[in-house]
Structure 1
Amino acid sequence: MIPETTLKIAGHDHEKVRRHLYPGDGCEAAAILVCTRVPGSPQQLLVQSTLLVPHKDCARREPDRLTWPGDWLEKGIEAGEASDKTLILIHSHPGGLFTFSQADDESDAEVMPCIFSAYGTLHGTAIMTPDGAIRARVYSPKLERRTVDKIMVAGDDIRVWWGDAPWNAPRGRPLAFTKGMTTELGRLRAVVIGVSGTGSIVTEEAARLGFGSILLIDFDTVETKNLNRILNSTLADAAAGRSKTEMMAAAIARYRGPGVAVPLNASIATREAVLAVSQADVIFSCTDTLESRMIAERLSAAFLIPLFDVGVVIPAGTGPNGPRIEDVMGRVDYVQPGGSNLFDRGVYTSAGLREEQLRRDDPAQYQQLQDEGYIKGLTEEAPSVITLNMAAAAACMNEFVARAYPYRHDGNAGAARTIFSLAAREHDYYPDAFCKTGDDPLFAQGTAEPLLGLTMLDEPEGQS
């Protein structure tokens, strides 16, 4: 079952809160999560900032009880009231109890009315155990209570805790490549941007791994020239000019059933597509344009969604005997909210975006750009690159599995970027800190206007 309420936290915020809540003295500690609300299904709470309550300011800190200081509740209200943010009061359970205690219920009965008397329609509380696991619940102004269905942290690892899990159930991640992984994936939503050479393979992998919902975004149609690299495409699809997303969704329905794959025949550079992607748990960017990559990373930042971007290239040159292949390369970038992004890493530049726009305004030049999309320096309308696409797509999906169901011996921190060269038989890995990044103004902004900070996504006049 796809959850109805989700709390999302960037990895760096989760770790900051965990360190504060567990200072080593064995007593409970407190913090406040200031969250942006995103309407829809699921309703999302995005942690935009955190307030760490100084340990000395709590009148009472014991191994199984804590008293919230009134002045810090007021600070939380000040931080959230102006923009109607949801406040989640989180405290530690040093003993490891992964459920709310009677003392927690009594505390909530005291502090929640204080917050609602100031403002808001939705606030909540949460507990964290020493391993970083979180359980949360939210309240209405009438103090009607419901459990947050899913808590998701996107950091070096992607961690998920489910609200319906028994309090005494093991809280470790399911083992990679097992039935447990498949079962959990059935409750997650994936998005694939670009359902062509690499994207069709990533989509196939996502469907067969078991994602519960897969949104497919592409505005293009199947053509004869790309039948050699788009999985499941047929001569009939090309003859009919069938959309790539509808073709792929129909193929997935044949072995997963209807409704798993959702086709959206549109550009990612549309308001409809952006709002649809905002509900995702993970984004796979398999696009061949810089603008699409820029929008994908903005979606990742604004909605705290982990992003996996994949690309391939075959540089060609001229040798003594004519054209020759210089290299055969693939790249996978993992972008976690609040970390370095694709622009920081040089995947695209402002100059590149301007050049792409100029070429798009000249259809003839843009078509040439598309034809050279795989083999740089050599125009090839139907390049035979499916083997390279397969390698890159598998690397992309395995990177997701490694993050969500960790299996690397040395952890994930050192593999924010993977670059492989088939010609040189090399794989190189780079950590998230390999380039500097500043604060992102889009971080956890959700659906704030202008959407993603882009006026081109403004709602048409006369619509609401």
Structure 2
Amino acid sequence: MTISGAHWAELNAHIFPGDRDEHGAVLRCGIAGSRLLVREVIRAVDGRDYVPGTSSYRRLTADFITGQALRFAEDNSVYVAVHNHGGDDEVEFSDIDLGSHERSYPALLQITGAPAVGALVFAKNAVAGDIWTADGARRPLEKLVIAGPFRRELYPAPRARQAALPAYNRQALLFGAAGQDILRRQKIAIIGLGGAGSLINEEVARLGVGHLILIDADRIETSNLSRVVGATRFDAHTWLTGEDRPAWMRQLGGRLTAPKVRIGKRVAKQASRHARVDIVRSNVEDAGVWKQLTDCDHIFLAADSHTARLLVNAIAHQYLIPVTQVGAKAQVEGAGDVAAVYSVSRLIEPGQTCLRCNGLISSTKLTQEATPPAERKRQRYVDDADVHAPSVIALNAVAASIAVNEWLMRTVGLARRAITPDWVTVDALHGEYNLDGARQDQDCPWCGPRRYGQGDALELPVKIR
């Protein structure tokens, strides 16, 4: 189960207000594969919705349960009841709890029409779950992930951790064997293996991330060699693709050059031979590609297209996966004057920050990118893919390192403050480091309630080929 930091704060404050008593609530959840996504926390009012029981200490009233179940039936949301026990680091259901589930959950499955119903019981630092599915199975909850602003994982009891490998001894001095074990269990996607993405790939691989997904449709070009980590002249087949070569030879060389994702995999495996590295030589918006992102722990978006921004922004809110959009830009005016040079790192926190709300997804650019190349050329779009902007490895490195460092500090639990509202812009011309507050529109179709936590129930804006 995944829950946002805001919903976790609301739930935790309700069931642990400091009175050492038991309290109840219900979670409204979406579903994504085998993950439950918390969309809403409904607090049960003590003495009205959560009352003394006859065979148990406390119970949710029948009216409260039925009312929420009928409301959830409107969109087949998953009903999950919540209460707390005493203790700190271990928790389990009582026999009375389990008996109550056996009496009521088959009926709740029918009322809601959802794929599952269930219950959670909390201690201060632990959670156990009993999940009933429509196929007649009954499953325990593996873990609860609190997605942000400080990432945490709760289990029924403390879990055994793998000791840090010798290669990570020096960084484990900072965040410990426990932090290194968290990194080993992370699944990270990097979209775009160009200047910024290739740097992110090497950094997270050297940190010891256990599973990487690299997505990019492009092959390496000679002009990429100055900024793509690990790329060689052999990868670019420079002896075939040079400007002094015949057209047929350059065309042949272009077909033989290495895909960027293959270079990225080579770099990642050289950095960490224990890492699992999956490569996808395609655009993220192509049909089927996005499905590999929906169970990631974090996504780094280093692709330039607005179509990719639209899709990944939607995935962040629909599947409750934090995303960091990174990039660098140098603007040169017609006379050759340098107008702006900056690097950016923008954290998209589910339910909190959104690229669309902040004007970073252009309808005009989306239209251009959806137009076939021949038609785009005929209409003479200025911002065509054939028009290259300046790109410098040092600018990319600033954006990549800020993005990875913020993700790292949040993930291993070292961050001292919530960084959710702040998007970072580094102005290289003026030597300024700016924190830009991000806005959120209440009625936004991409980050608002209509999409938030819906998981597999809602279609994504993907391209069909």
d(CA) in 2 for partners of 1:149 and 1:288?
A: 37
Specify the code of the residue in structure 2 equivalent to 1:47: V
CA distance in 2 between partners of 1:396 and 1:36 (Å)? 29
- Pair 1:117 & 2:126 matched: no
1:10 aligns with 2:4: yes
* Whole-angstrom distance in 1 between the partners of 2:388 and 2:98: 57
TM (normalized to structure 1)? Answer: 0.82
**What is aligned with 1:442?**
451
Q: Distance in 1 between matches of 2:362 and 2:383?
A: 20
1:280 equivalent in alignment to 2:296: yes
Q: What is the TM-score with the length of structure 2 in the denominator? A: 0.82
Structure 1: stretches of 5+ with no match in the other structure: 1-6, 168-173, 376-382
Supply the AA of the counterpart residue of 1:301.
H
**Paired position in structure 2 for 1:92:** 84
Code of the aligned partner of 2:428: L
Between the aligned partners of 1:442 and 1:87, the Cα distance in structure 2 is 18
**What are the equivalent positions in structure 2 for 1:198-209 lying under 5 Å apart?**
198-209=196-207
Which residue matches 2:44? 53
From 391, 401, 419, give the equivalent of 2:398: 391
For residues 30-429 of structure 1, the aligned pairs below 5 Å read 30-39=24-33, 43-57=34-48, 58-60=50-52, 65-93=57-85, 95-96=87-88, 98-102=90-94, 105-119=95-109, 122-130=116-124, 134-140=127-133, 145-163=138-156, 165-166=158-159, 177-239=175-237, 240-257=256-273, 260-317=276-333, 323-358=336-371, 360=373, 361-362=375-376, 369-370=384-385, 374-375=389-390, 383=391, 385-409=392-416, 411-413=417-419, 415-429=421-435
Q: Deviations over 1:240-266 (max 9, x none)?
A: 222211221133234433761100111
Q: Distance in 2 between matches of 1:314 and 1:127?
A: 53
Aligned equivalents of 2:365, 2:209: Cα separation in 1: 34
148-157 or 297-306: bigger deviation:
148-157
Change (3 A) 1:8 1:242: same
Q: What is the alpha-carbon distance in structure 1 between the residues aligned to residue 184 and residue 159 of structure 2?
A: 19
Structure 1 letter corresponding to 2:15: L
CA distance 1:229–1:16, change in 2 (3 Å): same
Asked which structure has the greater CA Rg, the reply is 2
Q: Matched residues in 2 for 1:68 and 1:428: separation?
A: 49
**CA shift for structure 1 position 149:** 2.1
Q: Residue 327 of structure 1: SS of its match in structure 2? A: strand
- Residue 35 of structure 2 is aligned to residue 26 of structure 1: no
d(CA) in 1 for partners of 2:135 and 2:195? Answer: 52
> 1:95 deviation in Å?
4.5
Residue type at the aligned position of 2:325: D
- Write the distance in 2 (CA, Å) between the matches of 1:295 and 1:109: 44
- CA distance in 1 between partners of 2:457 and 2:25 (Å): 25
The aligned amino acid for 1:317 is: E
1:425 is displaced (CA, Å) by 1.4
CA contact (8 A) 2:39 2:453 kept: yes
Matched residue SS, 2:307: helix
266-275 vs 366-375, which deviates more?
366-375
User: What is the DSSP-based 3-state SS (H/G/I as helix, E as strand, rest coil) of the residue aligned with 2:400?
Assistant: helix
Shift of 1:296: 0.7
Task: Call closer, same or farther: CA 1:351–1:241 in 2, change over 3 Å.
Answer: same
Q: Deviations over 1:59-110 (max 9, x none)?
A: 228xx942222222212322334544332211123553531153xx321321
Percent identical residues: 21
1:280 and 1:89 map into 2 onto residues whose CA distance is: 26
Q: CA shift at 1:328, angstroms?
A: 2.0
CA distance in 1, matches of 2:382, 2:235: 21
Name the amino acid aligned to 1:292. A
* Change beyond 3 A, Cα 1:142–1:329: closer
Instruction: Answer yes or no: is the 8 Å Cα contact 1:182–1:210 preserved in 2.
Output: yes
Given that residues 175 and 405 in structure 1 are in contact (C-alpha distance below 8 angstroms), is that contact kept between their aligned partners in structure 2?
no
- Secondary structure at the aligned position of 1:323 is classed as coil
Distance 1:115 1:306 in 2: 32
Give unpaired runs (5+ residues) of structure 2: 161-171, 238-255
Which deviates further from its counterpart, 68-77 or 295-304? 68-77
Helix, strand or coil at the partner of 1:362: helix
SS of the equivalent of 2:51 reads coil
Give the conservation status (yes or no) of the 8 Å contact 2:89–2:158: no
Deviations along 1:193-246, one digit per CA (max 9) or x if unpaired, are 111110111111111112211111111111111111111112222232222112
Q: Give the direction of change, closer, same or farther, for the CA distance of 1:162–1:285 in structure 2 (3 Å limit).
A: farther
In structure 2, the partner of 1:379 is none
Q: 1:13, CA displacement in angstroms?
A: 1.7
User: What letter matches 1:398 in structure 2?
Assistant: N
C-alpha change, 1:65 and 1:204, in structure 2 (3 Å) is farther
CA distance in structure 1 between the aligned counterparts of 2:69 and 2:364, rounded to whole angstroms: 43
